[in-house]
Amino acid sequence: MTQLIWDAEYGRNELDHHWTTSRLADEFFLCLCLNKKYYEQAKNLMFKIPLTEQFPKREEEGLPFVIDFKDLSPKVQDEFTQYCTLYNKKQVTVFLKQIVIRLFQNLDFAYAHMSVMKKLCVELRQ
C-alpha cells in the first residue's frame, strides 16, 4: 500500500496531535480512493440500488458496501479507532456513509443523492 507523506511522520513525535473529524473523513476517503477496488465496488452497487422506496425498508437490509480495515493507513486506523470510542454506533455509521457516498458522487452525483444516499449500508471488516 502506498505510504502517504503525513504517515511517514506518524510515530516520530510522542505528542502527535489528534485529527479533527473533518480531516479524518478526508484521509479515510483518500485511502479508499487510492485503492481501485472501492471504485469498482461502487460501480457494481450503484445501479443495483433501486430508486423506488419499496426496497429496502431499512438500510440494514440493503446491499452492503464493504471496507477492509487493513486497507486504511496506520494513522487513519488509529484515529478511526479512537473516533469509534468517542461516538455511538449510529454516529459512526453516519460518518462511514458520508465518506462512502463521496465515491458514488464521483461516479454519478444525481443518482447518488436520489437513490444511494438513503439506502446505502456500509460494513467495515477487520
Complete DSSP assignment for 52-100:
SSSS-SSGGGSPEEEEEGGGS-HHHHHHHHHHHHHS-HHHHHHHHHHHH
Give the pLDDT of residue 49.
Answer: 74
Side-chain-side CA neighbours of residue 73 (13 Å): 24
Segment 73-96 mean pLDDT? 94
Give the pLDDT of residue 82.
Answer: 94
Give the pLDDT of residue 89.
Answer: 93
Task: Let me know: does 120 contact 100? Beta carbons within 8 Å.
Answer: yes
Give the pLDDT of residue 40.
Answer: 94
The model's pLDDT over 23-65, given as tens digits with 9 standing for 90+, comes to 999 999 999 999 999 999 999 988 777 666 655 555 555 678 9
Which residue is listed with cell 504517515?
7
Quick one: cell of 74? 496506520
Mean pLDDT of the chain: 82
Give the pLDDT of residue 116.
Answer: 78
The dihedral through the CA atoms of 33, 63, 94, 113 has a sign that is positive
